[in-house]
Amino acid sequence: MLDIALKFLAQELNAYLLTRTGSDFGKAEMTRLVDDTGKYVLKEDQLGVSLIHLEEERILKSQMPETRLTGGKHVVLEPPLKLNLHILYAARFTHYDQALRYLAHVLTFFQAHSSFTPEAYPGLDGRIEKLTAELQSLSYEQVNQVWAFIGGKQLPSAIYKVRMVLLQDTAQTSIQQPLTQLDTNLHFR
């Protein structure tokens, strides 16, 4: 599901870039930014889309298992894991002014499209209920730490927190017969 969410966001950004620039130049690509030696994997004149961190959404965390009626049986599944993704959009361009222009396109894309649902965006997988993007404002020290962690020289970039991707194992924890009758005769003494 992580790959599906990132691919969707990259495709939507590319469609936006095509309408704004009229060409495929500067296309966004889901990729690692650098290899193990610190050399860029991201091609020149492109935007890199890379997952740099994920966190569990604990505020909206479900504690109780989910129950579904499947094939006449009451199926119990563990609650879904709700995740927030921290996605780095990095601009690697031959000319610095182009890098800034394309980074500005990323910012205006998410400013205009901060929320994605399958109803509004048919390309979004139906298993994803909703994605929302929020720009993260980092201090100089935090930006330095991010790029040191990545292992590359800093590029013009922005980090977005994308809420909420759900992961759920479809392995059933138990199968029970469904309730078909309720005893409504309560006896009080």
* CATH code of the domain covering residue 115: 3.30.2000
Encode the chain (189 residues) as per-residue pLDDT tens digits: 889 999 999 999 999 999 999 998 999 999 999 998 889 999 999 999 999 999 988 776 566 666 666 666 767 667 777 889 999 999 999 999 999 999 999 999 999 999 999 999 999 988 888 899 999 999 999 999 999 999 989 999 999 999 977 665 555 555 555 556 666 666 665
Q: pTM of this prediction?
A: 0.80
What are the CA-CA distances from residue 142 to residues 123, 154, 155, 164 (Å)? Answer: 34, 12, 14, 23
For residue 49, what are the domain limits?
A: 2-56+80-170
User: Would residue 61 count as lying in a domain?
Assistant: no
User: Would residue 33 count as lying in a domain?
Assistant: yes
User: Would residue 164 count as lying in a domain?
Assistant: yes
Q: Based on the structure, what is the number of domains in the chain?
A: 1
Helix then strand then coil, % of the chain, to nearest 5: 25, 30, 45
User: Would residue 23 count as lying in a domain?
Assistant: yes
User: Would residue 182 count as lying in a domain?
Assistant: no
User: Would residue 75 count as lying in a domain?
Assistant: no
User: Would residue 158 count as lying in a domain?
Assistant: yes
Angle of the 96-112 helix axis to the 2-21 helix axis, nearest 10:
110
User: Would residue 118 count as lying in a domain?
Assistant: yes
